[in-house]
Amino acid sequence: MIAPKHRFGGVRSLTHGYSRDVQVVLAHADPGVRRRFTRVLSHVGHHVEAVDAVDAAIERCRERPPDVVLVDVALCRDDEQELLAALKGDAQAYRSAVVLLERPDLDLDTAVTALRRGVQDFLVEPIGDAELVARVEAAGRTKVLQEELVVQSARLEAMLFEDPLTGLSNRRFILTQLAGAISAARRHERPLTIAIIDIDHFKAVNDEHGHAAGDRVLADVASALREHMRAEDQLGRLGGEEFLALVPDADAHVAAAAVEKLRAEVAALAVEHDGAVLAVTVSIGWATWEGESAEELMRRADEALYEAKRSGRDRVEGAPATVQRRI
């Protein structure tokens, strides 16, 4: 079904194919202009809040950031920079598209300066109804596209750095964080401990209860581990049922207690799935950095993990100190 063509004063609505209403704040000293612009934009489905001063416009934008801010340049000729700084410096209002209502004598240098300060577009008098609607909708589309880019960027970042099942850092990112943690420990001469955490008998969970149950176990274990780690600690999923914890500023004595607490917290979990309660335990191998490479540190922690599993699982084992400390 084709949408009807709206007309106002001989102007066809440009909202066909663009269903999103544009939220507009209009700042203009002339009440006649405010009434006309409000009438035209409202007629084609947009919402307008009209004010008569820049300060009022800034206040409205901070309270509820609009898609588009229409500002008569005569209101801010002396403090245009202040207006833009107030809007673009606000945590929410900076996304609003600013369109200046300009006089016919607008020169190139003035326009370029305003654009570089954050102005999206200009409407130069005399301003027809069609041009008003077209520019407002174009600015509204630009704002929507900018928001979509922000969302897409966040999704891309999550894909690059986040494990989708647990929400933890993925293998690539946690190993990058490990390299950074070692660099910081070396630079500041501070201790660092890492722990490799492995869910016991995880294959049996998948085989007996299905992969959905396995996913639930992974997510619940990750949540329990993260909840009981310090804010400065880092946790990532190495892959499968293995996790890597980075515990900065923790020597062997502190690390032993902290890692044992993680084991106990997981052992206390009762993972529910399809009416069944699954008991979960983890084996943990940890190692305190002694000046070696990330690969060597990981190898020592992995050997300690193997010893924990060989000794019966649901255990914590620390890697023995090396004979010679390498700095």
* Residues with catalytic function: 241
At a CB cut-off of 8 Å and minimum separation 6, what does 40 contact? 8, 9, 11, 129, 132, 133
Return the SS3 of 205: helix
Nearest Cα neighbor of 12 from 150, 179, 177, 130 is 130
The Cα–Cα gap between 214 and 235 comes to 19
In sequence order, the β-bridge partners of residue 106 are none
- Cα within 13 Å of Cα(238), Cβ side: 16
The Cα–Cα gap between 183 and 291 comes to 10
Q: Read off the DSSP letter of residue 19.
A: -
CB 270 within 8 A of CB 220: no
| Tokens of residue 206, six digits | 């998948």
Q: Which long-range contacts (CB under 8 A, 24 or more apart) does 221-230 make?
A: 221/266, 221/269, 221/280, 221/282, 222/166, 222/167, 222/168, 223/166, 224/265, 224/266, 224/269, 225/197, 225/262, 225/265, 225/266, 226/168, 227/265, 228/261, 228/262, 228/265, 229/262
Identify the helix (H) or strand (E) that includes residue 166.
none
